[in-house]
Amino acid sequence: MSAAASVEAKKNTKTAEPAANAQVSAAAAGGGGGGGGGVPSTNAKAIGMVKEADDKLNEWTFFASSRTANQELAVELFDKAAAQFKLTKDWEDAAKAYVRAGEVSEKLLKAESEASNYYLNAAKAYKNAGSKEANKMFKAVVAMHMENNRFSAAAKIYKEIAECEEKENSIPAAIAAWEQAADCHFAEDQASSGNQCLLKVAHYAALREDYKKAIDIYEKVSAASLTNNLMQYSVKEYMFKVRPTYSPPSHPIPRVAVS
């Protein structure tokens, strides 16, 4: 290979290196995790950390170990920047910094567990900002938990999703999320927690005049509670919830109410 060709090859290699980080670096110019539209932060310390993290991601090095070290440092800087944004209640900027940390962890470092934690922090920050991005991030996190059979963790996130849907008055979606949370709890033999989720389903089913579904759930939870010493005292409450609320004149009194 001629000297000119060798120089040209090195140039091409150097140009290709930052491209490996393009997916996670593009967010800096495009608004990070996509919460969008907020007033730019005046937190100079946090902004400086984000810039330093981007510089580390774009810093070319021949050695793989050095690239990994730069990526790990970038994650640390994004995490610290997010904490600084939180101190000044710049919730959307905090969320975007957490998303950046998650993207580097997931796509470059292949550290999915750490990535899911950063995405969860991003979702919580978006929630504090009142952003609809919170629900998207929660769904991304729950998908990662479900893929890895972390059902207890998934149940907690489904509850967060349900609460987000409730705030948006999207009752069918809230019901679906509560049902999924219940399924995850039951998969981990957490019957009490699962039944609490089902009671939320019954409540919203009744509001939608789906009386049969509400009654079936109350009967199921009541039957399960009779075998649980800690839950026996709640059975009467579940029974009496059925009769006054879910027995309009056109509906017969359900059998659980007269048992």
How far CA 107 is from CA of 68, 102, 111, 225, in Å, comes to 12, 8, 8, 45
pLDDT value of position 219: 86
The full set of domains in the chain, from first to last, is 42-147 (1.25.40.10), 149-259 (1.25.40.10)
- 10 Å Cβ neighbour count for 63? 8
- Per residue in 180-233, pLDDT (tens digit) is 999 999 999 999 899 999 999 999 999 999 989 998 998 888 887 766 555 544
SS3 of 25, please?
helix
pLDDT value of position 116: 96
Residues of the chain short of pLDDT 50, as ranges, are: 2-20, 22-23, 26-37, 232-233, 235-236, 244-259
Residue with tokens 């009496």: 240
Helix 64-87 to helix 44-58 angle (10° resolution) is: 160
pLDDT value of position 195: 92
Helix-, strand-, coil-residue percentages of the chain, each rounded to 5: 80, 0, 20
| Tokens representing residue 147 in the block | 């893929």
What is the spatial distance between Cα 59 and Cα 52, in angstroms, rounded to a whole number?
Answer: 10
pTM: 0.74
